[in-house]
Amino acid sequence: MYKLFVLTKNTFIDTLRQPVYAIIIISALLLLIISPSLAMYTMSDDNKLLRELGLSTLFLASLFIAIFSASGAMAEEIEKKTIVTILSKPVKRPIFVLSKFLGVSLAVALAHYICSIALLMSIRHGVLESTADQRDWPVIATAGVIIIVSLLLSAFFNYSYDWKFSSTAIILTGIFATFGILFLSFIDINWQFNPQHNGINAFDIYGSLLLLLAAIVIVSIAMVFSVWFNTAVTLSACIGVFLLGLVSDYTFGRFADSHLWAKVGRFIVPNLQVFWISDAIYEGSDIPAKYIIISASYALCYILAMVSLSIALFQRRQVG
């Protein structure tokens, strides 16, 4: 367990230090910040469009972080031959594969968590549909404090202790964002203590949890490809699976009753549409707890299958 913990921690830190990790998070946060302005031109249902834009941004950001981070987790270790040193400690191969999966999954979960809090703030602020609508200054002030304090402390730790600026800023943003959303859960738009009208909807939290499950499913798939292929091939394969997963019902589902290839494809390719709640947004329906449990069970079974397959393939992989 100690070896698993150490390798997981190292993978988590290495993922946080990747430039693409910070770039995707910053891009997602910027899109979430400006999304209330982008959603105000629909003539109606602006806040529904805001919710869908926010969840789409969260979905794509988490999935691309999962794809880029997991693609190089195993492949780079094998290409650079650093894996030989690790396995000679000795570290059992299943422990190594599992630590890589857990480390990348934790990094994906952290990025998803930060962007989810930004999504909740954006949805709470809402779209200013008319001049009579009031800006949510508690949200704006809280977001400003989180960003400024995180950047200042990251610069201080980088200068004083030589901590890497990007990874430190991401971790501090996650910490201060937690305090920020807790503050907003008790304070309403008029700076009054009013937890019953805090503007935070359980629907958005459930939607975020489903998207996190989809991202971790992609991580597990990337682990399978990265055992035998390099980063470029793994990246291309994961993007292909991601695109197929988005249209699984159309590509495989409608032919599954009459064609064997469709049955096999529907079984192998993950159905990412399960984790997307666009229909519920426009229909105004709630997400029942039963649906969350069923979706989580589906994701768990798929993840266990992919991680087990990764371990089985890596047992026969020549790394010396």
* Rounded average pLDDT over 206-235: 89
Q: Where are the alpha helices (DSSP H) in 164-317?
A: 165-184, 202-228, 231-246, 248-251, 260-268, 278-283, 289-315
Rounded CA separation 214/53 (Å) = 17
State how far the Cα of 113 lies from the Cα of 107, in Å rounded to an integer. Answer: 10
Q: Please give the pLDDT value at position 220.
A: 93
pTM listed for this prediction: 0.92
For residues 278-295, give the mean pLDDT. Answer: 80
CA distances from residue 187 to 111, 200, 203 in whole angstroms, order as listed = 25, 11, 20
pLDDT at 314: 85
- Please give the structure tokens belonging to residue 65: 């972080």
**Of 18-22, 56-60, 224-228, which range is least confident?**
224-228
Residue-wise pLDDT for 3-26, tens only, equals 889 889 988 998 999 888 999 999
Percentage above 70 pLDDT, the chain = 95
pLDDT of 45 higher than 70? no
The tens digit of pLDDT for each residue in 97-124 reads 899 999 999 999 999 999 999 999 999 9
Mean pLDDT, rounded, of the chain:
87
Q: What is the pLDDT of residue 43?
A: 58
The rounded Cα 205 to chain-centroid distance in angstroms is 13
Render pLDDT for 292-312 as a digit per residue (tens, 0 to 9).
999 999 999 999 999 999 999
Residue % of the chain over a pLDDT of 90: 42
Please enumerate in sequence order all residues whose Cβ is within 8 A of that of 272, keeping only pairs 6 or more positions apart, or say none. 214, 217, 242, 245, 246, 248
Higher-pLDDT residue of 152 and 196 is: 152
